[in-house]
Amino acid sequence: MTEFPEESKVILLYSDDLMTCLMNLFSKSLAENCYPLQEEILNVLSMVSLVIGDNFSNYYNVFMPGLKQLLMNLPATTPKQITIRTLTIECIGFLVSSIKNNTSLFLEDLNIIMKFLIDLQLSTQMAQDDPHHQAIISVYAQFSSCLKEQFAAFLPTVYGNVLKALDIHVDFDLQDETKVEAKPDKKMVQAVLDMKLLGGKKILSVNTDALEIKINAANAIYNISKNVKKAFLPFVEETKQVISKYLDYKFSKEIRKCCLKTIYNLMMACENEGQMIELFNYFLPLLLKETQHILKTDNCMFIFFSL
C-alpha cells in the first residue's frame, strides 16, 4: 500500500466526523440532483479514500450504494453529466483500490460494476475519444491490482478495448498563424510555435482528449499485464503487436516508457524459456533501433548547443 507522510495520517483522527459530513452532503446532492456538489464530493471522496487506505473499509458500504446509483441512473446527455459520471467511475476505482486487501467486501459490487462498464464501452453511442473511455480503462487497471490473476476472467471481454484505446488516432494539425480562421474544436488545444527562419509562426492543434486516452491505455496495459502475471499468456501475442508500434512514439514519453516496461511483463507471462527467447528476438531489433535513434538525437543536440 502507498505510504503517505505522517502528517497526512492525521485525517484518521477526524475520519468518522468527516465521513458523516460527506455522506450527508452526498445524500443531499443525490436527492436534489445538485451536480456542482456531487462533483466536489466525488473529488474529496477519491482523495480521502486514497489517503486512509484500508481504513476506508469502515465506510465503504455507506458510500458505494449511492455511487452505484449515480453511475447507473445518471444520463450522460450534457457535458456536466458526462463529467459527473466519469468522476463517479474514477471515484469507484479509488474506493475499491483503497481496500484491495479486503476482497470479500467489494467483490459482488465489482462484478456488477464491471458488467455495467463493459456494456457502456460497447455502446455504439460512445465516440472513440469519449472521456468515459479514459475513466473506464483506469478502473480496469485498478481492479486488476485488486484481483490479480483473477482479473484474467474479464480480459477476453475488456482487453480488446484497452488495446483499441492505445491505437486511437490523435489529430495533429500544423498551420500558418495567418491561415487559422475557425476556432478549434473543444477537444483541440492550440499552441503557437515560432519557427523563425524555418517558416515563421505556426499554430499546432492537438486533440488532447485522444492523447490522454492513449497515455491512459499504455499505463493500463502495463499494469494489467503486471498484475495478472502468468494468466496474461493468451494476450501476449496481440499485445506485442500493438506496443511494438509505440516504442518510438514521438508525442509521449509516458507511452514509450510504459510500452518498454510492458515487454518485461510479457516475458514473465511466458510458459517456458523458448517463448521468452522468441519474444526477446522479436523486440531486440526494435530496441536497438530506438537506442541508436536516442544516441543520434543526443549527439545532434550536444553539437547544436556547443556551437
Pick from 54, 58, 59, 51: nearest CA to 9: 51
Within 10 A of 126 (CB to CB), how many other CB atoms are there? 15
pTM for the whole structure: 0.83
Cβ–Cβ under 8 Å, residues 262 and 221: yes
Helix (H) / strand (E) element for 26: namely: helix 15-32
Distances in Å between the Cα of 307 and the Cα atoms of 60, 195, 293, 302 are 61, 19, 21, 9
Phi, psi of 193 (to 5 degrees): -115, 125
pLDDT value of position 170: 84
Cβ–Cβ under 8 Å, residues 262 and 256: no
C-alpha span between 176 and 131 (Å, rounded): 30
C-alpha span between 165 and 167 (Å, rounded): 5
Within 10 A of 27 (CB to CB), how many other CB atoms are there? 12
Pick from 164, 268, 253, 265: nearest CA to 223: 265
pLDDT value of position 179: 58
pLDDT value of position 290: 75
Helix (H) / strand (E) element for 204: namely: strand 201-207
C-alpha span between 212 and 220 (Å, rounded): 12
pLDDT value of position 199: 53
Cβ–Cβ under 8 Å, residues 94 and 100: no
The whole-number mean pLDDT for each consecutive block of 10 residues of the chain, a chain of 307 residues, reads: 53 87 96 96 94 92 96 92 96 95 93 94 79 94 96 96 93 61 53 53 69 94 97 97 94 94 96 95 90 58 37
Helix (H) / strand (E) element for 206: namely: strand 201-207
Please enumerate in sequence order all residues whose Cβ is within 8 A of that of 293, keeping only pairs 6 or more positions apart, or say none. Answer: 248
C-alpha cell at 279: 519474444
Cβ–Cβ under 8 Å, residues 172 and 205: yes
C-alpha span between 140 and 116 (Å, rounded): 12
**How large is the C-alpha radius of gyration of the chain?**
22
